[in-house]
Structure 1
Amino acid sequence: MKKQTNFSTKGNVTNVGSLSVNRMLPNQYVNKVGPFVFLDYVAPFIKKMISKSGMGAHPHRGIATLTYVIQGEEEHYDSLGNYAKIHSGGVQWMKAGTGILHDGNLNYDTETDSKFVEGFQFWINLPSQNKAEKPAHLAIQANDVPQKKLADESGWIKVIVGSYEELSSQIPNYSEQFLYHIHLEAGKQFSIKLNDKMESAAFLPTAKVTLNDTEFEAGEFVEFSRNEGLIEIKNTDRSAIDILLFGGEEYIEPVVSEGPFVMNSEDEIILAYQDFYEGKYGKMNLSAKI
């Protein structure tokens, strides 16, 4: 049985530093999908020069941030001294835990001739016990992101978070979660079965897609019902398309968010701000860049 669609919507355009982004989650219908509580999409654009300054150092607590760069390169540096640069297809993951400062810089990929930039940032809510852990960081280059070809030369699937068949991401799982990048060739289709009570959503970056016999437009965010069932993806276009499919088990603890902090109570939010203003998240040290 195919899963039903709960709703579809398009994001709101907002500015983050010098970037114009489409904020897809939270939206007018839902605040979270499984552990995912935030999704910003930087649509493809041409960047004419390399910027040297970051987006602006800022704190996080209680979540893990995940940046997935489709095209371009992204630098990460934080108050623990971590520094990394990923290129097109790479992933930066940072567990904020008890609190951290970080900054990032999105540029065109200096390893290719393309000046196009495109990418995503997700926030993944942590269970309360993991919110109390020390921060951590992972940088995963494109070649280390698990990927496999689909049957019948239909395309490929990348496992950014979680597992699919024999593929497993390096990113830690604190709950059942998944984030897949699915690439479908023209006229092809792909189906995936999700278990009961799994929250799931799809985002269609740049092309229309047919999901469970309903056509959705480019730029739409589509949430599915929680019952066990299939998600069938059909590409009726004349060119290849991409889709992000993500979700996981329901986050059942209380969720209280304000600004860059996602905690389980108002008191924890207050403490997050107090610790930040008291300097407990450390200081940025740009000399850590290599």
Structure 2
Amino acid sequence: MKKQVINIKQGHRADVGEYKIYRVLPDHEVRAVGPFVFLDYVPPVFHAADEPRKFVNGSGAHPHRGIATLTYVLNGEADHFDSNGHHAKVYSGGAQWMKAGTGIIHDEAMNPDPNTNDGLTHGFQFWVNLPAKNKAEQPDYRPVQAAEMPKIALADNAGWLKVVAGEYLQQTSPIPAYSEQFIYHIQLEAGKSFSLNALEGREYALFLPVSGAVINDVAYREQQLLVFDTAAGEIDIQNVTDSLLTAIVFGGAPYTEPIVAQGPFVMNTQKEIATAYNDFYEGKYGHIKYEQQAQ
């Protein structure tokens, strides 16, 4: 039996500085899918060879608390600094994972990948809502390069499935998890199809970043987010185009604790939100030491 689509969403523009961004989650109807309470999509942008690189210099620094951020880079180089002393770069196909925990300040920049020379930047940022007990833990960070993520070849030379987060067919992503979660990057060859078996009681969503597809026998456009029911069933993806198809499937177990979100903080009560702001203004999240961490 094929799963039912219960919501269809289109991201809205929510640009940040120089970056063109579409906010896919949340909205007034869909607050979360599994533990994911936020999704920004950065569409593909081509950068000329003589375009100046973006440097992390403090102008984009901002705090988080109560969540883990997961920046998945389809194309480009993501440069990360945070107030816990971390600095790293990940490249096309890799991800930056940062647990904000009790509070952290981070700063990021995206540039074309010097290893591919394709001039592109393209990617996503997810916010993973932490269980209450993990919101009280110290911040952490992990860069994950593309080669560290499991990539599973699909039958009939249809393409591949990359396990960005969670697991699939006993292949597990190195991205830490505090509740059941998954992000699958599926690439299908022209004219091919793939059927994903969805488990009972889990929340699933599918996003089509750059081209439309036929999902469970219905045609959908690019940049549409499909939210499915929680019954067990199949998610059938058909590539009816003459080029590669990218689909992002994500979700997990429902988040059962209260969700109170305000600005860059996601907590369980309004009092915890107030504390998060007070601690930030009192400097308890620390400071980024750019020159020292860049060495």
Q: CA deviation at 1:166?
A: 2.5
Whether the 8 Å contact between 1:60 and 1:99 is mirrored in structure 2 is yes
Correspondences of 1:215-226 after superposition (within 5 Å): 215-226=219-230
Aligned sequence identity (%): 49
Aligned to 1:24: 24
AA partner of residue 39 (structure 2): L
Give CA-to-partner distance per residue, 1:238-261, whole Å, 9 cap, x none.
Answer: 111000000001101000000000
1:174 pairs, out of 172, 178, 187, with: 178
* 3-state SS of 2:256 partner: coil
AA partner of residue 277 (structure 1): Y
Moved more, 240-249 or 27-36: 27-36
Match status 1:289 vs 2:277: no
Count of matched residue positions in the alignment of Structure 1 and Structure 2? 290
Aligned to 1:130: 134
Whether the 8 Å contact between 2:56 and 2:107 is mirrored in structure 1 is no
Structure 1: gaps of 5 or more residues: none
Whether the 8 Å contact between 2:144 and 2:175 is mirrored in structure 1 is no
Match status 1:97 vs 2:101: yes
Structure 2: gaps of 5 or more residues: none
Aligned to 2:255: 251
AA partner of residue 91 (structure 1): A
Give CA-to-partner distance per residue, 1:116-160, whole Å, 9 cap, x none.
Answer: 110100000000000001110000111111111111100000001
Aligned to 1:144: 148
Once superposed, what is the RMSD of the aligned Cα atoms?
1.0
Moved over 6 A (4+): none
1:108 pairs, out of 91, 94, 112, with: 112
Match status 1:183 vs 2:204: no
Match status 1:11 vs 2:11: yes
* 3-state SS of 1:93 partner: strand
Whether the 8 Å contact between 1:253 and 1:264 is mirrored in structure 2 is yes
Aligned to 1:233: 237
Q: CA deviation at 1:27?
A: 2.4
Give CA-to-partner distance per residue, 1:4-47, whole Å, 9 cap, x none.
Answer: 00011211011112101010001242010000000001100112
Moved more, 166-175 or 199-208: 166-175
Q: CA deviation at 1:190?
A: 0.7
1:207 pairs, out of 211, 219, 226, with: 211
Give the Cα–Cα distance (whole angstroms) in 2 for the partners of residues 270 and 24 of structure 1: 26
Whether the 8 Å contact between 1:11 and 1:27 is mirrored in structure 2 is no
* 3-state SS of 2:109 partner: strand
AA partner of residue 6 (structure 2): N
